Amino acid sequence: MNSRDLRADFPILSRTVGPGAGKPLVYLDNAATTQKPRRVIETVDRFYQHENANIHRGVHYLSMNATDAYDRARERIATAIGAPDPAEVIFVRGTTEAINLVASSFAGDRFAAGDEIVLTVMEHHANIVPWQLLAERKGLVLKWVDVTDSGEIDLDAFRAEFSGRTKLAVFAQVSNALGTINPAREMVAIAREFGAAVLIDGAQGVPHGAVDVTELGADFYAFSGHKVVGPDGIGVLWGRRELLDSMPPYQGGGDMIERVTKEGSTFRHSPERFEAGTPNISGAIGLGAAFDYLGEIGWETIEVSERDLLEYATARLREIDGIRILGPADTGSKVAVISFTMDSAHPHDIGTILDTEGIAIRAGHHCAQPLMDRFQVAGTARASFAFYNSRDDVDRLLDGIHKVKHFFG
Ligand code: PMP
């Protein structure tokens, strides 16, 4: 399959945007959310048109079929991310909920005042604020790892933040704001030297390459369906089975219990223990379809296509005076995310002018304000690519940037 064929799988990519007849859409905001292929849209549509029922509780045909489809989605995702056991795959709302679950049920349950959590300044707010809230509540200490001027983690600097009191290290596999690919396995190994647990925020890792949680070696791995061509409102927390089964429930409600009496309740094991109430059934099934779709394309095709776009776009942007690209200089150490500033224009002005040309990028702090502070910028303009983008999209982006330059001088 070439990128033309793949593009045709995404109905929204053939629309125009803006007033009047509009401009053909150039969608370069994939780090915020990806578009959805027909395969996922039709799977969710079919579920509601023909298969809808609540899971687990029913003895009737539709309920049993919905339960099977939900369980199959879990198995599909476990296989896709290299999880040894589907029971280690917990369906949650997204990365944010996954991290909050770990903060509450793991760290909240077993950490004490003075215990330390190591995190980096390149984290998304979703991997900062839950730890700040917990630290405040329990008297924990957050140890911040700085990044280099090229927006990368220096392993010695990372190691320097660990001590005998470090209980947990949390970090992004890939930075949403810069595209930096972190040396996750080496970082896990350092945390292990200090006996610390590890949570990897995989929100920007899963969309760009094959993930194997066993190989990564962390204790927890979180990601969101909507960033990997799946539906929104569904995501995954993967955790080691023995840890999950030793953690108290995150929320209480139906389906997560063994027995409820007036005196108290006992709880099921993972994953049910952490999936109180009716889950996002169609979302989980849609996410299974997303992994089926990606599996058919193949990660190699995806990586080759994104690498070409990253190298082409970076080379073309570097030709323009007054553009500063933040993040690794070596395109081999990053995914297809380009965060940049222009001498003459504010990121929001860049985004607004590009929008008049039908080009969707993101402008702002990208929910990574500590990182923006580190680089002493209020925000950046960010073009983030997916495998269904094309060199034509890059050319349109460059035409748009020339328009910005013309406008602001
Ligand atoms: N972490 C990273 C690295 C992200 O890019 C995002 C989303 N931008 C999140 C966490 C939060 O994901 P969600 O909003 O889907 O929960």
Q: Is 96 in the pocket of ligand 1 (CB under 6 A)?
A: yes
How many whole angstroms from 58 Cα to the centroid of ligand 1?
34
Is 56 found in the same domain as 21? no
Q: Same domain, yes or no, for 238 and 306? A: no
Looking at the structure, tell me whether residues 83 and 156 fall in a common domain.
yes
Spacing, Cα 321 to ligand 1 middle (Å)? 32
Helices 299-318, 391-408: inter-axial angle, 10-degree rounding: 30
242/308 same-domain check:
no
**188 within some domain:** yes
The answer to whether residue 351 sits within a structural domain is: yes
222 and 360 together in one domain = no
Residue nearest to atom 6 of ligand 1 (CA): 203
pTM here?
0.97
Write down the catalytic residue from 367, 386, 401, 404.
367
Which of 280, 295, 310 is the C-terminal boundary of a domain?
295
Q: At what angle do helices 281-297 and 61-80 cross, to 10 degrees?
A: 40
User: The tokens 């983030």 sit on which residue?
Assistant: 384
**Which ligand 1 atom is nearest residue 201's CA?**
1
Residue at a domain's end among 278, 295, 312? 295
| Number of domains into which the chain is organized | 2
Q: How far is the CA of 268 from the centre of ligand 1 (A)?
A: 29
Q: Is 299 a catalytic residue?
A: no
Cβ(176) – ligand 1 distance below 6 Å: yes
Query: Does residue 180's CB lie within 6 angstroms of at least one atom of ligand 1?
Result: no
283 with 314, same domain? no
Question: Are 248 and 369 contained in the same domain?
Answer: no
User: 216 with 307, same domain?
Assistant: no
Index of the ligand 1 atom closest to the CA of residue 94: 16
In a domain, 253, yes or no: yes
Question: Is the residue at 360 inside a domain?
Answer: yes
Radius of gyration of the chain (CA): 22
Residue 35 within a domain: no
Q: Report yes or no on 36 lying in a domain.
A: no
* 203 Cβ inside 6 Å of ligand 1: yes
Ligand 1 geometric centre to CA of 238 (Å)? 16
Going by CA atoms, what residue is nearest to atom 14 of ligand 1?
A: 96
Domain boundary among 234, 260, 295: 295
**222 CA from centroid of ligand 1 (Å):** 9
Q: Is the CB of 89 under 6 A from ligand 1?
A: no
Same domain for 187 and 324: no
67, part of any domain: yes
Domain CATH number, residue 157: 3.40.640.10
* pLDDT confidence of residue 37: 98
- 260, 183: one domain: yes
Distance (Å) from CA 51 to ligand 1 centroid: 30
Is residue 262 located within the same domain as residue 365? no
CB 126 within 8 A of CB 92: no
* Residue whose CB lies within 8 A of the most ligand 1 atoms, among 178, 224, 226, 367, for a mutation test: 224
Provide the domain limits for residue 174.
42-295
- Are 59 and 179 found together in one domain? yes
CA angle 399, 405, 406 (to 5 degrees): 90
CATH number for the domain that contains residue 313: 3.90.1150.10
- pLDDT values of the chain reduced to their tens digit, one per residue, 409 residues: 455 579 999 999 999 999 999 999 999 999 999 999 999 999 999 999 999 999 987 899 999 999 999 999 999 999 999 999 999 999 999 999 999 999 999 999 999 999 999 999 999 999 999 999 999 999 999 999 999 999 999 999 999 999 999 999 999 999 999 999 999 999 999 999 999 999 999 999 999 999 999 999 999 999 999 999 999 999 999 999 999 999 999 999 999 999 999 999 999 999 999 999 999 999 999 999 999 999 999 999 999 999 999 999 999 999 999 999 999 999 999 999 999 999 999 999 999 999 999 999 999 999 999 999 999 999 999 999 999 999 999 999 999 999 999 998 7
Q: Does the residue 37 lie in any domain?
A: no
